[in-house]
Amino acid sequence: MTQYDERVEQQRLKLEAEEWAKGIKSLHSHSLSSMWYDDRPQDTSEGKYVIDKEFNNGIVERTLSNGEVYVFTKHELKGDDLIGAYSQNN
């Protein structure tokens, strides 16, 4: 039975990492157009403010002042990369 211990442990870590990924890493209210992930500088032009919520898996969710939401997924952590980030932070 011990032959499956490693697989079970890997699955446990994967499930924990997927749950951890939904957690908020940072919350930032700003009018900057120079954020590292930002490919929508028009959102903050002319002094407009946005709220950027970064999740543990690297996804950034931007909420505009009118309530519209945009999601930046370019740097999303998945699979082994997500498990590695989870393991480093826990």
pLDDT in tens, 16-55: 999 999 999 999 999 998 888 999 999 999 999 999 999 9
Total domains in the chain come to 1
Domain that residue 69 falls in: 2-89
Q: Per-residue pLDDT for 61 more than 80? A: yes
What pLDDT score was predicted for residue 90? Answer: 86
pTM of the model: 0.86
Helix (H, G, I), strand (E, B) or coil at 25: strand
Mean pLDDT of the chain: 93
Percent of the chain having pLDDT more than 90? 80
d(CA 22, CA 2): 32
The token pair that represents 55 in the structure block: 């999740």
Using pLDDT thresholds of 50, 70 and 90, give the confidence band for residue 88: very high
